[in-house]
Amino acid sequence: MPSAILCYISAIDAMNRFIGRIAMYLIFVLIAVLLWSSVSKMFWNPTMWTLETAQFVMVAYFVLGGPYSIQMGSNVRMDLFYGDWSPKTKAWVDAFTIFFLLFYLGVLLYGGLVSMAYSLGYFGDEPFHFFLNLVVTFFTEGPEAAADKLGFLERSPTAWRPWLWPIKAVLCLGVLLMILQSLAEFFRDIGRLRGVLD
């Protein structure tokens, strides 16, 4: 197996392990937000921000922890047959079924990018051109010029009305990390089939 692929596997594993280990502590942030929500409802006026903040933290926890879960093999799997298979048979099946996962994640990433472009005020049909133009403007003309390219920023329809682009950016980042980790798992399965990796 080429050394570039082995370097890719180890780099993606290290990156997603680091992000996943940090993301798993978001459960404590979620607990704190929900505890504050309960206490404030009992003793004071209920706060408007707690429910949506809890939802945003849960999305970040789930999406940023997903690649680490795939890496650790702790994702949900039907073990009716899979558990009894040999490691080589598992690698064959995983190497085949990963394409279904990659297709799903690709569609999810495209939808997330379209939705994020919409939340940044872009209502056209070319979200990739919008993001490319935004990045080029940011690096060539500065942040103020890039901010001028943004339209009406989408807000939540609730009473708190937070901007939605940050959580959509987290969703896109998490899906991209899952795609990278899925490719690393595919290469790892190929290495197992060739007897290079265990």
Ordered by start, the domain boundaries in the chain are: 3-193
Q: Specify the long-range contacts of residues 51-59, CB closer than 8 Å, at least 24 apart.
A: 51/158, 52/156, 52/158, 52/160, 52/162, 54/30, 56/162, 56/166, 56/167, 56/170, 57/26, 57/29, 57/30, 57/33, 58/30, 59/167, 59/170, 59/171
* Residue with tokens 């980042």, as numbered in its chain: 173
Identify the pLDDT of residue 198: 67
Through-space distance between the first and last CA atoms of the chain, rounded to whole angstroms: 13
pTM: 0.86
Which of 180, 171, 177, 179 has the alpha carbon at shortest distance from 58?
Answer: 171
Note the helical H segments in 44-86: 50-72, 79-82
Identify the pLDDT of residue 100: 94
Angle of helix 165-193 versus helix 3-23 axis, rounded to 10 = 140
**pLDDT digit of tens for each residue in the chain (198 aa)?**
788 888 999 999 999 999 999 999 999 999 999 998 888 877 887 778 888 999 999 999 999 999 999 888 777 666 777 777 888 888 888 889 899 999 999 999 999 999 999 998 888 888 888 889 889 999 998 888 888 888 888 888 888 889 999 999 999 999 999 999 999 999 998 988 887 776
d(CA 168, CA 55): 12
Which of 58, 56, 62, 64 has the alpha carbon at shortest distance from 162?
Answer: 56
**50 within 8 A of 58, measured Cβ to Cβ:** no
Identify the pLDDT of residue 177: 96
Which of 165, 169, 167, 174 has the alpha carbon at shortest distance from 23?
Answer: 174
